[in-house]
Amino acid sequence: MEDIEETILGWLKEGDDGAKDIVDLPWVVNPVRDHVYLAEHPRLPFTLLLVFSDEFVQLVVPLGLETLSMNTEDRLRVYHALLKLSDGINLLKYTLSGMNDEVTLRVDLDKKTLGKAEFNDALTVLLVGLQAAVTNLGLEEEFSNEIFERLVGMVVSRLEKGATKEELMQFLVQKVGMPEKDARELLAMILKAHKEASSKAQDVGYF
Q: What angle do CA 18, 22, 23 make, to 5 degrees?
A: 105
Asked if 51 and 64 count as a contact pair (C-beta separation under 8 A), the reply is no
Question: What pLDDT shows up at residue 72?
Answer: 95
Neighbours of 158 (CB within 10 A): 14
Question: What pLDDT shows up at residue 89?
Answer: 86
| pTM flag (> 0.85) | no
Question: What pLDDT shows up at residue 178?
Answer: 84
Q: What is the pLDDT of residues 93-111, one digit of tens each?
A: 999 999 999 999 999 999 9
Distance CA(23)–CA(122), nearest Å, equals 9
Q: What is the pLDDT of residues 143-191, one digit of tens each?
A: 888 888 888 888 998 898 899 999 999 988 888 888 899 889 999 999 9
Intra-chain end-to-end CA distance of the chain, in Å:
67
Asked if 11 and 48 count as a contact pair (C-beta separation under 8 A), the reply is no
| Mean pLDDT, residues 37-41 | 95
Distance CA(10)–CA(29), nearest Å, equals 10
Question: What pLDDT shows up at residue 88?
Answer: 84
Helices 140-160 & 180-202 angle (0-180, nearest 10): 70
Q: What is the pLDDT of residues 49-102, one digit of tens each?
A: 999 999 999 999 999 899 999 999 999 999 999 999 988 888 899 999 999 999
- CATH architecture label of 4-138: 2-Layer Sandwich (3.30)
B/e letters for 48-65, b = 16+ CB within 10 Å, e = fewer, are: bbbbbeeeebebbbbbeb
Instruction: For residue 31, list its beta bridge partners.
Output: 37
Asked if 120 and 22 count as a contact pair (C-beta separation under 8 A), the reply is yes
